Structure 1
Amino acid sequence: MNRLRLDTDRCQAHGLCEQAAPDLVHLDDEDNLIIDVPGELSGAQLDAARDAVRACPVSALSLE
Structure 2
Amino acid sequence: MVKTICPRINEYDAATQDKALRELQALPKDSALRLFVGDYKHLRDQIRVCRERAGAASADPRR
The answer to whether the superposition gives a TM-score over 0.5 is: no
Higher normalized contact order (CA 8 Å, seq sep 6+, divided by chain length): 2
Q: Which has the higher strand share?
A: 1
TM-score (norm 2): 0.32
| Length-normalised TM-score, structure 1 | 0.32
